[in-house]
Amino acid sequence: MADEENEKQNDETTEPEATEPEAEAPAEEQPEAEADAPAEEAPEAEAPAQDAPAEEEAPAAEEQPEADASEEEATQDEVPAEEAQAEGAEKPKAKDAPPGAELEPIAIEPEREMSAEERARAEAEAEERARAEAVATDDEVSEEPVSRKAVELPAETRIQATGKRKSSIARVVLRSGDGTFEINSRPLEDYFPRFQHQALAKQPLVTAGYEGAVDVRVRVRGGGISGQAGAVRHGVARALTEVDPELRGELKRRGLLTRDARRKERRKAGLKKARKRPQFSKR
């Protein structure tokens, strides 16, 4: 009995040993399967590897036109840079030249004869300008003269009067004559080139109707052209009242005998002019 039990124990111990190699066999087969799998995958991996150079060649071919375009742009950029350098080299020469030498000369067209329409238009403009200057003078200039007969002066009579305006003083002498008007030994048109000053000086004569009946000689000093014209008018009006006292009312009504006291206002201390103040600064 003891022998049978020992044999059974020996059989039980041997059976696991026999089964152990069978279990190890699949383990040995796995490396072979794994070795075959990489071998099969290798050709597949080689195929993308072969395609990769083709793909790399295609971008390289695409990059070549881009490189050519960049080179062209670089050459285009270099050309303006060279032109700028050339201009910079020429600038010192321009400094030596007189100012305005680089400017193009203005082409002056030769004068052409005016047509009949253009000539008529120019004459109309000149008449309109003269009319505007006449209107610019005092409104009293256009008033109708006094309807009185001029008094004849004796040949040896000399009537003197003084007129003032602003800082001008005029000494007037009236004599019998044909209407000569002289200021400081010069004709009226020469001394007062502007029509409005001429009309202002002759206004009393035109108003009283003595324009061509007496000769007027004036000595005037001080002030400007406008002030001297006003002084001459004031002096002539005063002299006419000596010739014909009945003219006084009419000349007074028209303001020819009134001494015009208007003049430039004096400058005040702390101001720039008579009324103008310096700009106010808050800070």
User: Which helix (H) or strand (E) covers residue 169, if one does?
Assistant: strand 168-176
Per-residue pLDDT, 90: 46
Per-residue pLDDT, 26: 42
pLDDT tens across 204-231, in order? Answer: 999 998 988 899 999 999 999 999 999 9
What value does the mean pLDDT of the chain take? 75
Most confident of 4-18, 52-66, 226-240: 226-240
Contact 256, 233 (CB under 8 A): yes
Share of residues in the chain with pLDDT > 70 (%)? 62
Helix (H, G, I), strand (E, B) or coil at 282: coil
Q: Which residue has the higher pLDDT, 146 or 168?
A: 168
Number of Cβ within a 10 Å radius of residue 248: 15
How far is CA 201 from its chain centroid?
A: 42
pLDDT at 34 over 50: no
Helix (H, G, I), strand (E, B) or coil at 157: coil
Count of residues in the chain? 283
Q: Which residue has the higher pLDDT, 49 or 156?
A: 156
pLDDT at 172 over 90: yes
- Lowest mean per-residue pLDDT among 72-81, 203-212, 256-265: 72-81
Mean pLDDT of 2-13: 59
DSSP calls for 92-122: HHHHHSPTTTTSPPPPPPPP-PPPHHHHHHH
Contact 172, 161 (CB under 8 A): yes
pLDDT at 77 over 60: no
Identify the structural domains of the chain with CATH numbers, from first to last: 158-253 (3.30.230.10)
pTM over cut 0.75: no
Cα dihedral 34→40→45→48 (10° resolution): -160
